[in-house]
Structure 1
Amino acid sequence: ISEMAGLGPETRKITDSLDALGNTTAAIGKGFAIGSAALTALALFVAYTQAAGLKIIDIKNPLVVIGAFIGAMVPMICAALTMTSVGRAAFSIVEEIRRQFREIPGLLEGKEGVKPDPKTCVAIATTSALKEMIAPGLVAVITPVAVGFLLGKETLGGMLLGATVMGVFLALFMANSGGAWDNAKKYIEAGNLGGKGSDNHKAAVVGDTVGDPFKDTSGPAMNILIKLMSVVSLVIAPTLPTIGILLKF
């Protein structure tokens, strides 16, 4: 806002410092949120074992190990889906902005009285956000159901453990590294390490391009993912077979 309002350099300096502090505070706060999600997932896992009638989950059982590997894959897949979704949504908005520059006379030149069409950009962002979340949502819901019925309730228990451990560490990594990359760019733009236009600044801009969806999209999504998978597993637990459908043939 201060940049768009054309405020002085002193104001920009203060707001940049507050922005960097906000990123650090957000990273710390997200750490607490991740810890809360981990405890919730653990409680739901215990509830799942009771609902499924599992007194013990043997980690020496190959099916449990298979489930753990599948569970560890799911957060990585969802992280990849959300990261690419951000890119696709951003490019859609970029194309709309280019269209407005082409079709609205005087907009590119900045003529007085010529206004852009922000409503279309907001509509594209909203529509893209909803559409792009379909695939990660389906992965989170379908995977526990498929593993539980095809490989059995014990394999699903292993999958929940694998997904929880991987999801927690991935969320911590994304929240902290994303904030660090964002602050690194601001640090260089403040005149350090060559300042704006330097090779360090160009590298920091690339890092921030990855860091923003890391800390704002994929990282927080991990919290929802591990809890959603645990809830779905708990709901279907009473109907799951002890021996999966695939193992009966």
Structure 2
Amino acid sequence: MAKLDKSVRERTDQLDALGNTTAATGKGFAIGSAALTALALLAAYLEEIIDTLKVSVSQFMSYYDVTLMNPKVLIGLFMGAAMAFYFCALTMKAVGRSAGAMVEEVRRQFREKPGIMRGEEKPDYARCVEISTVGAQREMILPSLIALVVPVAVGLIFDVAGVLGLLAGGLTTGFVLAIMMANAGGAWDNAKKFIEEGKHKDEYGEKGSEQHKATIVGDTVGDPFKDTSGPSLNILIKLMSMVSSCSLVS
């Protein structure tokens, strides 16, 4: 769009590919931090309760029957694991709806302002920014409510054993899922750029080939993977731990 030299695009593509790898590394540290924070919150809660009741850890676990043979713990584990996937599904679908609204707005502007394509009129950038901002805020209401309500509901129904199972399931599954999403999303993006470079077109195809079309699909899924669902799992893990601790204390 800026009508710059072709070499500029080649350099920015290389920077983008490097940025995807660097970002995946940074997100790995971030999700590791979220996991450690969740463990620290849980440990702090247990230590406070144990000091108050003057009991040992084994006595605390025995009293609430925190074992894999307890159905409440197993239900909590499965709910925590399912929450991570359900949360990611909600955020992925939210990105799709917001992107669809953006596409419709761009098409509308092209229809009503044909001079945009000829460089005679300027697009309404403010409207596009408004769609993305309002969409992001509105679409995150349901995922946020789930992260707040589910730990409280599990605590009321399945008591402490269920909440501990919920935290364990959400922590383990959310950690692995977030790492996978951050790395897979960046890899799919870089795969598309790798084919577009055309250096190994005999082996991997070139721009416009079936392989390239497949990498475009992968990149389309990979963007919300690495930029939306993966990073948001950090918040889910931390929020669940904090709400669970508060509900357990109450």
Same fold (TM over 0.5): yes
Uncovered stretches (5+) of structure 2, i.e. residues with no partner: 51-56
| 1:139-218 equivalence runs, <5 A | 139-191=146-198, 192=200, 193-218=204-229
- Residue type of the alignment partner of 1:21: L
**RMSD across aligned positions (CA):** 1.4
Mapped pair 1:111 → 2:99? no
Kindly indicate whether the alpha-carbon contact (under 8 Å) linking 1:66 and 1:155 is maintained by their aligned counterparts in 2.
Answer: yes
**C-alpha separation between the residues in 2 aligned to 1:170 and 1:160?**
15
- Give the 5 Å matches for 1:95-134: 95-107=104-116, 110-134=117-141
Cα shift at 1:58: 2.1
Cα distance, 1:149–1:51 mapped onto 2, change above 3 Å: farther
Give the residue type in structure 2 aligned to 1:104: K
- Classify the secondary structure of the residue corresponding to 1:114: coil
C-alpha deviation, 1:47, in angstroms: 2.6
Question: Could you report, residue by residue, the CA deviation over 1:51-92 in whole angstroms, capped at 9, with x for unpaired residues?
Answer: 566722323212111111111110100000000000000000
Task: Answer yes or no: is the 8 Å Cα contact 1:48–1:233 preserved in 2.
Answer: no
Residue 51 of structure 1 contacts residue 237 of structure 1 at CA under 8 Å; is this kept in 2?
no
- Does structure 2 retain, via aligned residues, the 8 Å contact 1:49–1:157? no
**1:52/1:237 contact within 8 Å kept:** no
Encode CA deviations 1:181-235: one digit per residue, 9 max, x unaligned. 0000000111132211000000000000000000000000111100000000111
TM-score (norm: length of structure 1):
0.90
Q: After the TM superposition, which residues 1-249 of structure 1 pair with which residues of structure 2 at under 5 Å, given as runs? A: 4-50=1-47, 55-56=60-61, 57-107=66-116, 110-191=117-198, 192=200, 193-239=204-250
Retained in 2: the 8 A contact 1:47–1:234? no
State the shift of 1:11 in Å: 2.0
Could you say which residue in structure 1 is the equivalent of 2:54? none
Identity over the aligned pairs, expressed in percent?
57
C-alpha distance in 2 between matches for 1:232 and 1:91: 34
**In structure 2, C-alpha distance between the alignment counterparts of 1:203 and 1:23, rounded to whole Å:** 19
